[in-house]
Structure 1
Amino acid sequence: MYTLNFDPAEFLSQYWQKKPILIKNAFPQFEDIISADELAGLAFEDAVASRVVVTKTNDWQIIEGPFEEYEQFGDSNWQLLVQALNHWHPDSNKLINAFRFIPDWRFDDLMVSFATPGGGVGAHIDNYDVFIIQGEGQRHWTVGDKGHYAPKNNDPTTPLIEGFEPIIDAVLEKGDLLYIPPGYPHQGQTLTLAMSYSIGFRAPSQQELFSELADSLIDNNSGLKRFTSSNEPKLASQISTSHQQDMMALITELAANPDNYQAMLGKMLSQNRFELDICEPEEPYSAEDITDYLSQGALLYRIGGLKLLRVEADSESRIFVNGEVFNYPAHIEADINKLCENFSFNNQQAVSLMQTAETQKVILELLNRGYFYFAE
């Protein structure tokens, strides 16, 4: 169990998406989720997104995984990064649970780093919120204030910048936490062999929302209302101000109707950027199989990284799972709430969920899609 040593409500009101903060000993008696050897082994797998960043003089080299060995990198000045550890390592959920005072739809992934002395990435700016938790070892972090910064080597495509004046300058040790909102420059440098964990939270951009809304309207053959006007400009070549505003009002009208955006948002925000470890059964489960497994003491688990989301004030009773819609009868709302709020269920909890036939039907569908699984 990972328990935060600070008040989440105070953090949300004073720091979340406002300013960075270093919290020493945020996780008392912190234990690494995974060993360096286990992490290195995961990066051998094709399905796992991994990379090695080699620090060079005033530059960095990025080598994409999977890897077969690491000896060529030497004893210093490199780090291994594995994205979406939570998709492949079930124990990751214990750490992620500590941050669920932020809604699941924002959660992106848990990235883990094993770094040698001198390993790191240069000064850069991210467009998402990140919590950095230090495991074994020490890393020196600096964070600057928001501002305009020159891109590294005048390269407009790089996230790296030339440098900044730090407003946070500290060495992180086991259990320390650094929170960095979008837009704040930062840089980490490894002092000793070190493990660190980055929990990222993303939100959609205007561009992404418009693109998804347009796709949704096309898929549903909706949004067909056309512009009409009551007056025309005197000049034939002119698009009048009133015409411009009235055309944009058509978009505002669409966006104001929940029927046009609720399903779109649910599908969009329940999807992941990284591959899921979907566990489809060799043969479809039946209701009898569920009863049999539970009678033998089985536990019920959600696969790592899977999001089960609901839209508040939804026009339908449904959940959104990995971009798909699952409808359910309104009278099992309490069961669906438990299903969405928990990553796993002990045997007694699972048996209790299965008491209602309609709930069992939803879970059966999720099991057969490979989104849930039984384990001892």
Structure 2
Amino acid sequence: MFSLNFDISEFLTQYWQKKPILIKNAFPNFEDLISADELAGLACEESVASRVVVTKPNDWQIVEGPFEDYDQFGDKNWQLLVQALNHWHPDSSDFINAFRFIPDWRFDDLMVSFATPGGGVGAHIDNYDVFIIQGEGQRHWTVGDKGQYAPKNNDPTTPLIEGFEPIIDAVLEKGDLLYIPPGYPHQGQTLTLAMSYSIGFRAPSQQELFSELADSLIDNNSGLKRFTSSNEPKLASQISTSHQQDMMALITELAANPDNYQAMLGKMLSQNRFELDLCEPEEPYSVEDITDYLSQGALLYRIGGLKLLHIEGDSVQRIFVNGEAFEYPAHIEADIKDLCENFRFSNPQALALTQTPATQQLLLSLLNLGYFYFGE
């Protein structure tokens, strides 16, 4: 189990989305989730998102995976990054669980880095919250304050910047944690062979929300109300202030109606940016199969990265799983909460879930979609 060695309430009040903080020994007796060799092997897989960043004088080269070998990169000035380790490495679930004081809908992925001395990505700014946890080895991190920074090489499309004055300047060692909110420039440089773990949390932008809402309205053939006016401008060529405001009020009216946005948000926020490692059965499970597996002592697992979300105050009794809505009767609400809150279930817990036919049918659907699976 992984336990954080700091006051979570204090962190949420004083630091979360407000300012960065370095917490030494945040994970006492921390042990790496995966070895460097195992990570390198994962990056050989086509379905795993990976890249190598090579540090060059005043520049960086990005080589996209998968990789057959790493000899070409030498023994310094590069790092291997593997996205969404939690999708492919079940043992990472306990580590992820330690950060669930932040809601699941924000969670993006667990990225893992193996870096050689001199490896890094340069000064840059992210648009998401990130927790960086140091494994084996040492990395030197600097974090600057929010401000206006010149893009690297005057390239407006790059997150890299020319530089900053640090407000945090420290060497991270095993178990140390660095939290960086969106908008704060930062840079890490590897001092020794090192493993590090980045847990990212994202939130949708206005652009993304508008796009999703528009798609949802089109799919449901809704949002058809048109603008009407009570007065007209004196100039034929003018779009009056009142007309502008009344047209924008149509959007406000749409956004104020939960029927227009709840399903859209549930579907949008339950989807994942990275490929899921689905465990679809060769032949569809039946209720009898579930009973048989559990009678033999099987445990029940949720696949890594899968989000099960519910909307507070939803107008429909449903959960959202990987962009799809699943309705359920009110009397299995407690079972639904268990399914949403837990990554794995002991045999007695799984047996308890199957005692109610409605829960059993929902679980059967999730198993056949490859979202849950049986294991030892």
TM-score (norm 2): 1.00
Structure 1 residues without counterparts, runs of 5 or longer = none
- CA deviation profile, 1:142-195 (whole Å, cap 9, x unmatched): 000000000011111111000000000000000000000000000000000000
**2:325 alignment partner, SS class:** strand
* Gap runs ≥5 in structure 2: none
Distance 2:298 2:120 in 1: 43
- Supply the distance in 2 between the matched residues of 1:227 and 1:157 (Cα, whole angstroms): 38
Q: Which residue of 2 aligns with 1:146?
A: 146
Q: Distance in 1 between matches of 2:25 and 2:353?
A: 38
Q: 1:352 aligns to what?
A: 352
Aligned to 1:337: 337
Q: Deviations over 1:85-124 (max 9, x none)?
A: 0000001111100000000000000000000000011000
Do structure 1's residue 375 and structure 2's residue 375 form an aligned pair?
Answer: yes
Displacement over 2 Å in runs of 4+: none
Would you say how many aligned residue pairs link Structure 1 and Structure 2? 376
Query: Does the alignment pair 1:240 with 2:259?
Result: no
- Per the alignment, residue 156 of structure 2 pairs with 156
Residue 254 of structure 1 is matched in structure 2 by 254
- For 2:355 and 2:339, locate their aligned partners in 1 and report how far apart those are by CA, in whole Å: 14
CA distance in 1, matches of 2:66, 2:94: 26
Deviation at 1:54, TM superposition (A): 0.4
Tell me which residue corresponds to 1:86.
86
> Map of 1:171-250 to 2, 5 A cutoff?
171-250=171-250
CA distance in 1, matches of 2:155, 2:240: 40
> Residue 296 of structure 1: CA displacement?
0.5
For residue 248 of structure 2, what is the amino acid of its counterpart? M
Give the residue type in structure 1 aligned to 2:138: Q
The equivalent of 2:321 in structure 1 is: 321
Query: Which range moved further: 151-160 or 165-174?
Result: 151-160
Task: Tell me, yes or no, if structure 1 residue 34 matches structure 2 residue 44.
Answer: no
AA matched with 1:308: L
1:279 shift after superposition: 1.0
Over the matched positions of the two proteins, sequence identity in percent amounts to 88
| DSSP-derived class of the 2:315 partner | coil
RMSD across aligned C-alpha pairs, in angstroms? 0.4
The structural deviation recorded for 1:247 is 0.3
Alpha-carbon distance between aligned partners in 2 of 1:177 and 1:281, rounded to the nearest angstrom: 39
TM-score by length of 1: 1.00
Distance 2:236 2:58 in 1: 58
Indicate the SS of the match to 2:122. strand
Cα distance in 1 for residues equivalent to 2:184 and 2:111: 19
Q: What is residue 296 of structure 1 aligned with on the other side? A: 296
**What is the distance in 1 between the residues matched to 2:344 and 2:330?**
23
Give the superposition deviation at 1:7. 1.1
Counterpart of 1:80, as a letter, is L
Match for 1:219: what amino acid?
Answer: D
- In structure 1, give the amino acid aligned to 2:371: Y
Which whole-Å CA distance do the structure 1 matches of 2:49 and 2:82 have between them?
6
